[in-house]
């Protein structure tokens, strides 16, 4: 099962267009389908980045506002960049009650850099979309001296291995490229790699990496909604795949238990 989409190359205008519309078909369900970032991780990020209620935060790839709302509740002055126009509209609606939040329909690559303006740069499950040659240097330039980069990650929620074995053949029949199961150990290695890249960039220091195991219970409908936000499928393939999954999941009842690792990576700008 696929954990993270590959980031398009930032120099290709066609890739920019693809990036803007990647999640458009599921923009309305994404906010509720994806598991929330744990309150513990949000609080740890705020504490590690030493953010006061008056802090300024630049968010890269806000999506429909899954992490934005959690941070906005602290009163931060937030500038949120989201390339997908459908996500942008949903995020603006979700953040309507927070006057300090501005959601801008643009990519981080195209955004007009405002140097040394922010106390923190935040990215939740989106930093991997941006080229390593751009994301660290531009994030550092946007920060005040000694500002912080905050990366939040919710890895792909997965069922137990027993359930995966039961549904594997459905994926092999209808979407063989999506046959994958990671488990906590592999997810931990992926997260370690994200942190190592952050540290190796040379633009940030004193990296703190923390992760927790999360468990969520979804109805079958909620689970299929979740899958629709994790995978790009043609409508006909999606219909066949989801029908097969419903049938295979019947013996397990009308609820499904999922687990995933959630992580926070926080590092300070190098002087």
Please provide the average confidence, as pLDDT, over all residues in the chain: 91
Where residue 44 sits, what CATH number does that domain have?
3.40.50.150
249 in a structural domain: no
Cα 262–Cα 106–Cα 56 angle in degrees, nearest 5: 60
Say if 246 falls within a structural domain: no
- Tens of pLDDT, residue by residue over 220-254, are 999 999 999 987 788 899 999 999 999 999 999 99
pLDDT band at 3; cut points 50, 70, 90: very low
Residue 82: pLDDT over 50: yes
Mean pLDDT over 209-229 rounds to 96
pLDDT at 88 over 50: yes
* 230 domain-assigned: no
Burial (CB < 10 A; 0-12, 13-18, 19+), residue 199, is middle
Residue with tokens 């899954």: 66
Which pLDDT does position 252 carry in this prediction?
94
Angle between the N-to-C axes of helices 235-249 and 220-230, in degrees from 0 to 180, rounded to the nearest 10: 140
For 122, 180, 187, the CA distances from 116, given in Å and listed in that order, are: 15, 42, 34
Query: Among 125, 155, 123, 124, which residue's Cα sits nearest to residue 136?
Result: 123
How many domains would you assign to the chain?
1
pLDDT bucket at 78, cuts 50 / 70 / 90: very high
Percent of all residues in the chain with a pLDDT value above 70, rounded to a whole number:
93
- Within a domain: residue 132? yes
Q: Is residue 168 part of a domain?
A: no
Label residue 271 by pLDDT band (50, 70, 90). Answer: confident
pLDDT band at 177 (very low <50, low <70, confident <90, very high): confident
Inside any domain, residue 167: no
Domain that holds residue 92: 13-155+182-215+261-269
Q: What is the mean pLDDT of residues 149-154?
A: 98
Residue 146 falls inside a structural domain: yes
pLDDT (mean) for 168-189: 93
Burial class (CB in 10 A: 0-12, 13-18, 19+), 250: exposed
Give the model's confidence band at 12: pLDDT under 50 very low, under 70 low, under 90 confident, else very high. Answer: very low
What is the pTM (predicted TM-score) of this model? 0.91
Spatial distance between the Cα atoms of 127 and 105, rounded to a whole number of angstroms: 17
How far is residue 151's CA from residue 45's CA, in Å, rounded to a whole number?
Answer: 9
Distance CA 242, CA 42 (A): 33
Amino acid 19: pLDDT: 63
Residue 240 located in a structural domain:
no
């Amino acid at each position: 099962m696929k954990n993270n989409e590959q980031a398009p190359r930032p120099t290709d205008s066609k890739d920019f267009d693809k990036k803007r519309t990647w999640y458009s078909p599921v923009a309305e369900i994404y906010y509720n389908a994806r598991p929330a970032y744990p309150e513990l991780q949000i609080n740890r990020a705020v504490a590690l980045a030493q953010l006061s209620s008056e802090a300024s935060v630049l968010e890269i790839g806000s999506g429909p506002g899954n992490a934005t709302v959690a941070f906005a509740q602290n009163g931060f002055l937030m500038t949120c960049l989201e390339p997908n126009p459908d996500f942008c509209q949903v995020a603006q609606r979700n953040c309507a009650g927070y006057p300090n939040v501005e959601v801008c329909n643009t990519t981080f690559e195209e955004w007009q850099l405002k140097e040394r303006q922010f106390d923190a740069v935040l990215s939740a499950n989106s930093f991997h979309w941006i080229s390593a040659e751009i994301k660290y240097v531009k994030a550092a330039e946007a920060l005040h001296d000694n500002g912080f980069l905050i990366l939040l990650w919710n890895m792909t929620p997965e069922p137990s291995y027993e359930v995966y074995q039961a549904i594997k053949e459905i994926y092999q029949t209808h979407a063989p490229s999506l046959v994958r199961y990671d488990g906590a150990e592999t997810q931990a290695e992926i997260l370690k790699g994200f942190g190592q890249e952050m540290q190796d960039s040379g633009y940030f220091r004193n990296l703190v990496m923390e992760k927790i195991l999360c468990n969520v219970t979804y109805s079958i409908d909620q689970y299929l909604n979740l899958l629709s936000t994790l995978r790009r499928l043609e409508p006909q393939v999606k219909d066949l795949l989801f029908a097969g999954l419903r049938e295979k999941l019947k013996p397990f009842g009308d609820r499904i238990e999922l687990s995933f690792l959630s992580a926070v990576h926080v590092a300070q700008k190098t002087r």
